[in-house]
Amino acid sequence: MNANGQNQTPAELLAHLVAFDTTSHRSNLGIIDFIEDFLFQHGVAARRVVSTDGEKSSLYATLGPADEGGVALSGHTDVVPVDGQIWTSDPFTLRAADGRYYGRGTADMKGFIAAVLAATPDFKRRKLKTPIHYAFSYDEEIGCVGVRPMIAELGKNLPKPRMVIVGEPTSMQVIDAHKGPVRWNVEVKGRAAHSSMAPLGVNAITYAARLVAELERIEADLKKTVRNARFDPPYPTLQVTKLAGGTASNIIPINCTFGFEVRALPELDPGNIERRLRHFADTQCLPEMRAIAPEADITITRTNSVPPFGADRASDVVALALKLTRQNETHTVSFATEAGLFQDAGAPAVICGPGDIAQAHTADEWIAESEIVKCMRFLSRLGDWAEA
Ligand SMILES: [Zn+2]
């Protein structure tokens, strides 16, 4: 209830949610306490799935019949950092202006969670025949980390949904496929020497640069061979995302490390990229390096993957989402979500949520008020469906 004794509006709830700085490296227990308390006030019991260090938690709640089946609404409570971004106003204080709500996480994706919470009194008032579950997770922004232990509990300690709607910002369009990021870390170890005596050393940065150039060639080949016109861009992108190396301006660098990722299409085997880079390292770099320094080495380690997603054609979830949005066409996106993880666990998923991904992760992130209104209508129709 708000100060006037009325149910809280989505905007009031969004203001509360934005006020918690849930940047992924911080604890999210404050926002989880708030949501749990809100649900409790509306007669909804929620269950936590706590991280091993106890610093973070997911929250799972079931409205309607307390059994398996039904639809889960999935969202993450964490946000990306604001470091280095220039904001017009405090990112953790919701600001309304010109039909928009500004604040970190408004689009990605506290707007969706606020709408779901605001719909709770409506869901509770109805006589739901089919359960509606809430699945709120943490550490999505660092690779869908927190949702995985919660998914592992489905069908064990938590009732498993028959379908999942992931509320990432899609401007309330129905998304039935997305790319998946697969990431690697590469360590190049050379040999240090005085930079005036270059032939005695093995320059780790030079060899890292060769590997980076090979990745550029691999991407050029992917552009030609792995294409799917439903995606934008219509091929898997392959990018070096971080690089560090060297010690001082007069030392041949002994170390260079870099990270790269591919945004894989559902039809791409990312293992092929790693094998090609490994082969290049083994044939085009290491023989030369080891001729001077036998200890020289190149290690390639896969660090994190989120599976690419293609909706299960046989499931009803795409049809349901189209019906609830009053649309007749599905779309794809290039960002990743937990949809594939739910689907792999036997809970077919689709992505549909308020806000535009173009505003996610930016300075002065915002969501249009009209998007929240559309989402509330969607949730109200979901209530109709679950009641029927
Ligand atoms: Zn997100």
> 217-263: per-residue pLDDT in tens?
999 999 999 889 999 899 999 999 999 999 999 999 999 999 999 99
Q: For residues 277 and 281, what is the distance between their CA atoms, to the nearest angstrom?
A: 6
pTM: 0.85
Q: Are 253 and 245 in contact (CB under 8 A)?
A: yes
Ligand 1 centre distance from Cα of residue 365 (Å): 12
Radius of gyration of the CA atoms of the chain, in A: 24
Calculate the dihedral angle through the C-alpha atoms of 73, 304, 365, 21, rounding to the nearest 10 degrees: 80
Range from 2-6, 28-32, 87-91, 212-216 carrying the lowest mean pLDDT: 2-6
Range from 2-6, 112-116, 265-269, 341-345 carrying the lowest mean pLDDT: 2-6
Q: Which of 36, 139, 140, 176 is catalytic?
A: 140
Ligand 1 centre distance from Cα of residue 224 (Å): 30
Ligand 1 centre distance from Cα of residue 113 (Å): 11
Collapsed DSSP state (helix, strand, coil) of residue 77: coil
Q: Is 78 a catalytic site residue? A: yes
CA atoms within 13 A on the CB side of 244: 4
Ligand 1 centre distance from Cα of residue 360 (Å): 8
Q: Is 83 a catalytic site residue? A: no
Ligand 1 centre distance from Cα of residue 50 (Å): 20
Q: Which of 36, 78, 261, 365 is catalytic?
A: 78
Ligand 1 centre distance from Cα of residue 189 (Å): 36
Q: For residues 8 and 19, what is the distance between their CA atoms, to the nearest angstrom?
A: 16
